[in-house]
Amino acid sequence: MEIQGQKANLYWGQMPFTTNPMYFGVIVLILAVTGIFYNFRKNPFVQAMTVISVVFLFMSFGRNFSLIYDLFFNYFPYFSSFRAPVMIHHFMNIAIVILSGFGLKSVIEIVKGKTDSDKLKKLCYVFFGIAGLMFLISIVGFEGSYTDSVSTSSLAEKLKQQGATAQQISQYIKQQIIPNAYANSISDLRLHAFFIALVAGLMFMYATNKVSVKIFLAGTILIAVIDLWNVNFKTLHWDNPGETKNAFAETDFTNWLLKTNPDTYTYRVAEFNGGRLTTDNTMAYYRLHSFNGYHGAKIRIYQDAVDVAEGENPLLLTLGGVKYIISDKPLQDTSFVQVFKGTKFIYENKNFIPKAFFADGYKVEKDITILNNIREMNFDPRKVAFLEKDINQKIDKPDSTASVKLVKGDIHSLEYEVNATGNNLLVFSEIYLPFGWKAYIDGKESEIHKTDYILRSLVVPQGKHKVEFRYEPAVYYTGKSVSIGANVLLGIILLAGVFGYATNKKKSDSTGNVKKDENI
């Protein structure tokens, strides 16, 4: 956030890269409590939503309260695939909102039915007490315990690992973090106490027939929206248009790459920072294809290759179709030769292989053996391709007239013109995905082989052919068909309902007129 015109990060928890607050509103919370209070014993659905809220709350604590989390992580299938424990809050939030709807409905029914009004008034007193206690705590304060929490937090440990001294950590935390973060906590505590008191007051006035149901509902909704808006607009982040502009400004090295090799589908780049492969997606903005990048759920075989062979491995980068290395400092590896020097260095891969190439033959090896061969850099991909299962086909060594050319490159489709001089093995520097991607030779589907652990290959018969890769995941088209069918069905039901309503109304009017005539 901005403090005295300067950028300041006040977060001191365990997830410094997370900017999304899991907040559903204090008004929604007290309404949910009301819904549980009045409906838990008699409504199984409310019981289910309450259990979900409580269990998922404790589950979201992860290692901070691992009793429930460990049970699910170790014994429930697929649970370990969650990106982070806090994601379970999304389910909890839905349950809380539903419970708040029950609470609002119960208040209205009690007042309209004139039942349990005294009980509702007592609940209002409880909410007044909670609001008063919150306000009292904000007056008395808890700065000492807050300071202790921040001083022993993961932020302090992170700063220590980065080389900061105890004095620097203490000065940073006590002079910048604590005063402003604590002030935020106190102001929010008072504001939420005020919101709770307002809604409790509206509820009490409605229960005593001092305000109408419309005023009660409108006031409650308005306060709930203000509560959410307050957090939405107060999310602690730094908005500086200059930073965004600078992040995506033209650079000398990207301009050089696009001018030198504008056909970006024919090669990839890799970014090094401090001599290590980075995880950055910035190059996509310049239409450059990166070997590296960031995604929350990486493809397993890619991650295996980077972990075992190491991301800076020249052979792995060659297999990945990397022609240029973008580095923030000079590289010592003789596999790369410097071709540009500006704000960053650009190195060309001396062993670059086009993203589609012929292999003389193949060997069958175990997956870990293939990865170790890549790590040791002890084979030439053009001479031998490693497969994990035998394709039981004779592979001919291509001669000098064999060729492959990319004629169309798209996100979901690739098209090549291929001239094979025999039964050739054509390797593509594209990630192997057994689901979704399909290959066609002259329109006829062909089997894709997992090659060199991360790549794909096809056996192309002698002659000139059109080779295509198309991304056609069956699950997508099945889901699309189901969605279209369901929408058509709903449309038919809606039309039938409108037609039925109109017909019944016409009959009702006709019957009513007859009876009126008879009465006359």
Interval 259-280: pLDDT, tens? 999 999 899 999 999 889 998 8
Average pLDDT for residues 363-389, to the nearest whole number?
95
pLDDT of 19 above 80: no
Say what the pLDDT of residue 516 is: 52
CATH of domain 383-472: 2.60.40
Q: Name which of 15-19, 28-32, 101-105, 305-309 the model is least confident about.
A: 15-19
> pLDDT higher for 7 or 251?
251
CA pseudo-torsion sign 363, 368, 369, 372: positive
520 pLDDT more than 50: no
**What's the whole-number mean pLDDT along residues 92-101?**
94
β partners of residue 6: 3
Written as six digits, the tokens of 22 are 């899991």
Mean pLDDT of the chain: 90
Q: What is the pTM of this model?
A: 0.67
CA distance linking residue 196 with residue 184, whole number of Å: 18
Burial class (CB in 10 A: 0-12, 13-18, 19+), 120: buried
pLDDT tens digits along 492-517: 999 999 998 888 877 776 666 555 55
Quote the tokens at residue 429: 């520097």
Closest by CA to 202, choosing from 277, 135, 120, is 120
User: Per-residue b/e over 463-494, b at no fewer than 16 CB within 10 Å?
Assistant: eebebbbeeeeeeeeeeeeeeeeeeeeeeeee
CA-to-CA separations, 161 to 15, 155, 157, in angstroms, rounded: 16, 10, 6
Instruction: List the single range of 320-324, 442-446, 504-508 with lowest mean pLDDT.
Output: 504-508
What is the token pair recorded at 228? 């959410």
Q: How many residues does the chain have?
A: 520
Q: Report CA-CA distances (Å) from 174 to 13, 171, 182, 350, 393.
A: 16, 5, 11, 53, 71
What is the distance between the alpha carbons of residues 375 and 367, in angstroms, rounded to a whole number?
13
Q: What confidence tens digit (pLDDT) does each residue in 210-248 have? A: 999 999 999 999 999 999 988 887 765 566 667 777 778
Percent of residues, the chain, with pLDDT higher than 70: 94
Please state the domain extents for the chain.
2-239, 248-349, 383-472, 483-520
> 336: part of which helix (H) or strand (E)?
strand 336-341
Res. 442 pLDDT band, cuts 50 70 90: very high
